[in-house]
Each structure stands twice: as structure tokens, then as C-alpha cells.
Structure 1
Amino acid sequence: MKQIRSHGRDLGWLVVSAAIGLPAPVLLFLLVASLPATVAAGLGLGLFAAAVWVTRRLAGLQRRRAAAVLGAAVPASYRPLPAGAFARLRMILREPATWYDFAWLACQFVVGVVCFVLPVALWLGAFQCVTAPVLSAVLPEPTGYDPLVLELTGRSTVLSWVLVPVGLGLAVVAYRLPRPLVHGQARLAAALLGPTSKAVLIDRVGSLTATRAATVDASAAELRRIERDLHDGAQARLVAMAMSLGVAEDVIDADPAGAKALVAEARAGVGAALTELRDLVRGVHPPVLADRGLAAAVEALVLDTAFPADLDLRLDRRLTAPVEAAAYFAVAEALANAGRHSGATRIQVTIADTGTALHITVRDDGHGGADPAGGTGLLGIRRRMAAFDGELRLSSPAGGPTVLNMELPCAS
């Protein structure tokens, strides 16, 4: 029964595809009729705009249907339209995606009709072949409206029985054919309606430019933070120690006890300065991460959380230092966000190395509703991922749970 329903869905998909292609003759006629006038004097602007608008809607529908079949999005590659009717017209005329849409529409008209008619014809042929003996017995004499199978066999009983296995074979073909036809049309849509290689390259360059700018800004902000922490913390303590030691040097002969107290105070300041410097270095690059690797560093993070945490590590090798640092700080930020905002009582961290990518999942049982626009934590994680051409996917419905899926390329 499940297979029958799947076959019915495939046939329905082919029916809709044929219907999507049916407006092609009208739209292509509008295009051919309006284009010369549009280019010459703008007289056919309305017809051309209508043809483009309808074609893009049909193409968008087919993209969504193709994405559902292929399991991967088929993005459009239209550039943003400028202001002004004639400026938009020039953009649309120069847009390669416009002409790919019309090329797809012309192909879809032919392919959609053929892919719909072919299974129907096979089922009708299978039915006639299987029922040929019955038809031969029921219609022993020509009627003027004879089925094709009777004309082929000449109402021969032997030949009619020979066609029965042929009909069964046609039924098998008709049953199995729609699925390849559906995938074929989906691939055609992906090839003609998806972004061109030039569009992909332009988008890639834009993404890398934005990522580089964000990384530079983040690095500059991190340097400013380190400078501020050094200035307000360790540097201030070192200045205070220098002053205390200077005073102690001046009064050591006249007041040995006071000088001793000042030296003790300076010594305490040294300890505090060392602690602050260690904390600062740990924030830049934790020693445990450099010495023992990502697995041990994440274990230390999980042990330091304020609520129970489950850890699933599937790491069999040391990764490059930048990748380990990005993964470590991403997990640290995710745990901090869960502790501050989610109200979670338990968290689960999974890190798996697939050889080509490092997959990180952080899941908490909090109240959900996480929004990257609401703070800098998730934006910082996304920036770290983007610097390595990685990806962050967030799922946080109201009521929870919140799931962060991160992917970092880590091929050797």
C-alpha cells in the first residue's frame, strides 16, 4: 500500500509538472512579441514584465518541488532590482537567470507533457495487452471503434494470449518509470534554475569578503580587549608594586618594619598580577588546549559547568591548532549562553570528527527562543565558523530545546 501511495505521488508530481509547462507557449509568445518593442522604445514593457513575472513564479514553484525531490535547496540567482522601471528592465534583460528561466520553461513544456503522457500510455497499453483475450472474445467482429490491440492481432486468439505477458511487462515499466522521470525533471530544474557558476563565484567572493572583514574586526576587538585587560589589571598592579618597592627602598633604613610591610604588599601584588596574566593567557589560548588537545579541553569545560552535562567525543586525532581553538571557544560560548539565558537543567555536547569536517552539537533542555540578533554570543560563534568556511545552524523553538549544530572543515 505504501508503494502504491508513493507511485500515486509520483504521478501527481508529473501531472503538476505538465501543468507548470503548459503556459510556456503563451509566455514565450509574449516574450518574442514584446522584446523588440521593449528594446526599441519601451512599448512592450508591460507584456515583457508580465511574462517575466509569471515565468519567475513558475520557476520558483519548480525550484521548491525540485528541492523536495533532491533533498537540497535549489536557490535562485536573481540580483536585487534597482529603483526605477527602466533601470529594472535593463537589469532583467542583462540577467542571465532571466534567460535560463525561459529556456527552462521551453524545456519544461516538452519534457513535462512527455513525462506525463508516457506513463499514461504505458498503463493503457498494459491494460489493453492484458485484457486482449477478453476483448477478442467480447468483440469478435469489427465495430469501427476497435482497440488498437485487436487491430494488431487481427482478433487472433493465440496472438491475444501472447500479448498478456507483454502487458505485464509494460505494467512493470509503467510502475517503475515515474520515479526516474521525477528525478530527471528535478535535475533539469536544478541545472537551469539554480545559480550559474559565475553567480556562485560572485556570491562566494562576497561571502569571503564579508567573512574576512568580520574576522579582522573580531581580531581587532580581541586585541583591544587584551590591551584593556592588561592596562586595567596586570599593568596597574605592576605600577602599584613599583611604587611600593620605591617607598620601601626610601624608608628601609629609617623604618625597617614599614619597609617590610611594603615589600609584603608588593609580593601579594605580584601573585595577583600573575593570576590575572594566567587568566588572560587562558582566555587567549588555554594551556590545556595546546598541551592535551581539544578532547581534554572540552572535558575541562564540561566539568566546569554549573549544571549536569553529557559529553560524547569521537576524536581520534589532533586537529590543527586554529580549528581546535575555534571549536573550543565555540563550545565554551555555547555553554556560557546556555547557563546565562536558557534556564537549562541539563546539556549535551557531541563532537564527531568525520575526517573532512568536525561536527559539533550542543543541546540544552531550556526554554528555547534563542535569537542570534538578541546578543553577541551566537554572532561570535557564527563568525568563528565563517572564518573557516564553517556553518552554524540553530534550532530553538519556544519551549525548547535549543540545539546548535556547528560544522568546521578539518580535512588534513
Structure 2
Amino acid sequence: MTATDPTHPTDADLTGTAERPWEIAVQTLRASGAALGQLVGGLGTAAMALGVLMPAALAAVTAPVGVGLVLAPAVVRALHALADRERDRLARWGPEIVAPDPPPAALRAALADHTTRRELRWALRHGSLGLLLGLLGVWLPLAAFRDTLFPLVWPLMPPDTSSTSFGFGVAHTWTEALSVSLVGVGWIAVILGLTPGMARLQGRPGRTLLVAGPDTDLSLRVAELTATRAAALDAHATELRRIERSLHDGTQNRIVTVTVLLGVARRMAARDPERADEVLERAQSAAEQALAELRAVSRSILPPVLSERGLAGALSGLAAECAVPCRTDVEAPERCAASVEATAYFVVAEALTNIAKHSGASGAAVTVRARGGRLHLRIEDDGRGGADEEGGSGLTGIRRRVAAYDGTLRVTSPAGGPTVLDVDLPCGT
């Protein structure tokens, strides 16, 4: 046996060393892509914040003559609605933002309310710095694309056309055209290195100014969590009853049948061996059915396919078994908690069962994204629509499963279709 030199890297060490830069590169690309998505999403709310600030300034200037008093209620309502939208946006990319108590309905009290003042400060910061960062989030990829590929289109451009994203007309030779592509590489480096920090900077005013303060009454949130806990316990009890029924009505009866048949075969073995063999064959068949039912029950508790193939593989298996043609698109680079993945699996399984039974659809799609510590699921079909949560369609069970993890379910199902289920779950740890 040859001793291993601890100072000499093994093949496994070299493989791990070779794979690590690739993993870092993939993570960097994903983080930059997510950051660009946040910046572009923040651009929308920043533009709306600027749109709210303009009538707010007009109302403040014209308040002495009475015109501002007419504009002020609409401005305050628009400000609160925009702040709620920003909270929802930030929650999709990170931890949930607990909203403060609703402001008073009376105009004077609403204008003097602490929440209104904080939301106004947020609108000022987000409508200025957040707007600039959002514009950069749109401009940087375009500039990188334009400058990097400039040598490919340079021969087709007019002679005096500006070449770089700065507007400088420097490309008169192939050397200068290639130098422009180096500028594009620089933009790519800026995107990879700075956009995550830019996204955090853009979202910081919302996370500091739109969150409930320490003096805020959180009784509504406590009531919501209490209701969620009750729904989780109810869903757990329902699941236990289902498992008990499956074991009692199915597997237990099969095992009793096996026991009875074995007793009959033992008594018949001496006087009628041929009949005893027939009875033993029936007992073996009943035992195999009991084993199959027991396996089905165990899979319904926690499908082993999740640990074997991950969420993407498990959902692909569900789509392949669905009676309606179904495609899946799963991007979950990091594994979520096992219980969360199991919840996502059962939600998709129940939704696909509903689609096959009730929708009359010719196709379905399942989209899964894991971003910012949240798992987003979207199940849609092109069926007749009109899904009724109160009509025993299984949506109530799905909502209870999702609520047990403090997630959200949104159902859109107009008459004539399509039906869309949007599920948002925390990834857990």
C-alpha cells in the first residue's frame, strides 16, 4: 500500500480546484442577472415615485389658495399605494417587509402621520437615486452589447457614425474598432462587479423607510400568523387523517387478507396440497398489493424522488405522468428546505390533477424560480377557466399547504381561461 503525501494534491483535489472557478463564475452571472432584474423593476417604481412627487409639489405650492387641498387626498392615496407596491417588489427579491399600520383616513391626520412622512422621504430618494440606478440597469447591458459587438457591424456603418456608447467617433481602422470592443468588455466587468451592490443601494431606502417601526402595532400581523398557524395545524390534521384512512382501508385490509389466506393454506396443506398452493398464490398476490399500497402511502408523505433527483427532476416526472401535455421550466440553483420542496411538489401535483380532471386544457406549463430566498411557482393551462376555490376543486387544500409556510397563493381564472396559479414560498433553511 502506497502512502499518500499530504503536501501533494490528489486527483479529487485537482478536480475540486478546477470546478470551483466555474461554480463561482456561474454564481456571479446569476447574481448579476438577478441584480439587473431588480434594477429594472426598481426603475418602474422610481418613475412612478417621480410621478407622485410632481403633483405632491404642486399640491404643496397651491395649498394656500385651496387648489392643493383638492389634490392632496389623491396624492396621499397614490403615495400609499406606490409604497405597498414597492414593499411587494422588494419582498420578491428578499425578506418580507412588514407594512406599518394604515394611515388615518382624515387628510390632516394623514399628512401629519409618521408613515406618510417616511413614505414621502422614500419617494424623494427612490425617485432620484433609485431612478438613476434603474436607468443604469437598462443602459449598461445595451452599452455592453453595442460596444462588444461593434467590430462585427463597423464595416456596415457610415463613416462618421459614433462608435462607442459615449458617443465618440473613434473607429476609423480595425484597430480602433477592436478597441471599442474592449470598452464593451469593461462594461461587462462593471455589470458583473457592481450591479449587485447597485441593486442593494436602490432597495435600501425601501427597506429602511417602508418597514414598520418599533412602535408600530403589529396586532394585525400577529392575527395573520395565528390564522396561518391554525390553517397549518388543520392541514396537518387533514393529512394525518388521509394517511390513516389509506393505511386502515387499504393496506391493513390487505394484510388481514394475507393472514386469513395463510391460515387457510396451513390447514389445507396436509389434506389438499393443490388447493393450498392456490390459496398461497392468492396470499402472495394480496401481500404484493399491500406492499404497493404501503409504498404509495410513503411516497405521499415525502416523495423519495425529491432527494434522488431534486425539485426539477421530480416536477419533470409529474409533468411526464400528467394526462395533459405539460412543460416545465425550473431554475432553482440552490436547494430549499426539504419540507418546502415537498410542499411545492404536492402543490404542482394537485394543480396538474385539477387541470387533467376539470380544465379541458390542451396544454399546461409549470415555471419555478428561486430568487432572494423565495421560491416562486407558476402553474398555468389553456383550459376553460372559471376555477372556483369554494367548489371543491382542490384549491382550498393548496392554499392551506402554502399558508402553512407563510406563503401566498394567487389564482387567476377568468371564464374562458387561461387559469394561472402563482405561488410564493420562503425557501427556508
Question: Shared fold by TM > 0.5?
Answer: yes
- 3-state SS of the aligned residue for 1:319? coil
Mapping of 1:176-255 within 5 angstroms?
A: 201-255=218-272
Q: 1:226 to 1:106 in 2, by over 3 A?
A: closer
1:310-344, CA deviations, whole angstroms, 9 ceiling, x for partnerless residues? 21111223222111101111111111122222221
Q: Decide whether the 8 Å contact of 2:104 with 2:113 is kept in 1.
A: no
| AA matched with 1:236 | N
The corresponding residue for 1:317 is 334
Q: 1:77 to 1:311 in 2, by over 3 A?
A: same
The corresponding residue for 1:382 is 399
The corresponding residue for 1:350 is 367
Q: Decide whether the 8 Å contact of 1:297 with 1:328 is kept in 2.
A: yes
Tell me which of 77, 81, 85 is aligned to 1:63: 77
1:296-317, CA deviations, whole angstroms, 9 ceiling, x for partnerless residues? 1101001111122121111223
Confirm or deny that 1:366 pairs with 2:380: no
Q: Decide whether the 8 Å contact of 1:67 with 1:73 is kept in 2.
A: no
Q: Which has the larger radius of gyration?
A: 1
Q: Decide whether the 8 Å contact of 1:285 with 1:325 is kept in 2.
A: yes
Q: 1:208 to 1:198 in 2, by over 3 A?
A: farther
The separation in 2 between residues aligned to 1:342 and 1:19, in whole angstroms, is: 56
- 3-state SS of the aligned residue for 1:293? helix
Q: Decide whether the 8 Å contact of 2:52 with 2:78 is kept in 1.
A: no
The corresponding residue for 1:302 is 319
The corresponding residue for 2:307 is 290
The corresponding residue for 1:401 is 418
The separation in 2 between residues aligned to 1:21 and 1:343, in whole angstroms, is: 62
Q: Greater CA deviation, 211-220 or 69-78?
A: 69-78
Mapping of 1:322-337 within 5 angstroms?
A: 322-337=339-354
The corresponding residue for 2:91 is none
Q: Decide whether the 8 Å contact of 1:64 with 1:73 is kept in 2.
A: no
Question: How many Å apart are 1:292 and its aligned residue?
Answer: 2.0
Q: 1:400 to 1:105 in 2, by over 3 A?
A: same
Q: 1:249 to 1:346 in 2, by over 3 A?
A: same
Q: 1:219 to 1:10 in 2, by over 3 A?
A: closer
The separation in 2 between residues aligned to 1:21 and 1:276, in whole angstroms, is: 78
Q: Decide whether the 8 Å contact of 1:366 with 1:402 is kept in 2.
A: yes
User: Over the residues paired in the alignment, what is the CA RMSD in angstroms?
Assistant: 3.9
- 3-state SS of the aligned residue for 1:367? coil
Tell me which of 267, 276, 290 is aligned to 1:273: 290
1:362-400, CA deviations, whole angstroms, 9 ceiling, x for partnerless residues? 111112222323325222222222222211122222222
The separation in 1 between residues aligned to 2:417 and 2:366, in whole angstroms, is: 16
The separation in 1 between residues aligned to 2:251 and 2:113, in whole angstroms, is: 71
The separation in 2 between residues aligned to 1:252 and 1:238, in whole angstroms, is: 21
| AA matched with 1:393 | R
Question: How many Å apart are 1:249 and its aligned residue?
Answer: 1.2
1:261-318, CA deviations, whole angstroms, 9 ceiling, x for partnerless residues? 1111101101111111111112112121132221111010011111221211112232
The separation in 2 between residues aligned to 1:258 and 1:9, in whole angstroms, is: 88
- 3-state SS of the aligned residue for 1:363? strand
Q: Greater CA deviation, 97-106 or 207-216?
A: 97-106
Question: How many Å apart are 1:98 and its aligned residue?
Answer: 5.0
The separation in 1 between residues aligned to 2:217 and 2:399, in whole angstroms, is: 21
The corresponding residue for 1:341 is 358
Normalised by the length of structure 2, the TM-score is 0.56
The corresponding residue for 1:138 is none
Identity %: 43
Q: Decide whether the 8 Å contact of 1:21 with 1:105 is kept in 2.
A: no
| AA matched with 1:356 | G
The corresponding residue for 1:152 is none
The separation in 1 between residues aligned to 2:280 and 2:64, in whole angstroms, is: 89
The separation in 1 between residues aligned to 2:425 and 2:348, in whole angstroms, is: 12
The corresponding residue for 2:8 is none
Gaps of 5+ in 1: 1-5, 27-57, 79-96, 112-186
| AA matched with 1:103 | A
The corresponding residue for 1:51 is none
Higher RCO, 1 or 2 (CA under 8 Å, sep at least 6)?
A: 2
1:2-55, CA deviations, whole angstroms, 9 ceiling, x for partnerless residues? xxxx9999755655677899889x9xxxxxxxxxxxxxxxxxxxxxxxxxxxxx
| AA matched with 1:239 | V
Q: Decide whether the 8 Å contact of 2:100 with 2:216 is kept in 1.
A: no
| AA matched with 2:277 | K
Size of the aligned set, in residue pairs, is 281
| AA matched with 2:109 | A
The separation in 2 between residues aligned to 1:21 and 1:401, in whole angstroms, is: 52
Gaps of 5+ in 2: 1-48, 89-98, 118-204
The separation in 1 between residues aligned to 2:344 and 2:401, in whole angstroms, is: 8
The corresponding residue for 2:409 is 392
| AA matched with 1:63 | R
Q: Decide whether the 8 Å contact of 1:77 with 1:196 is kept in 2.
A: no
| AA matched with 1:375 | G
| AA matched with 1:287 | P
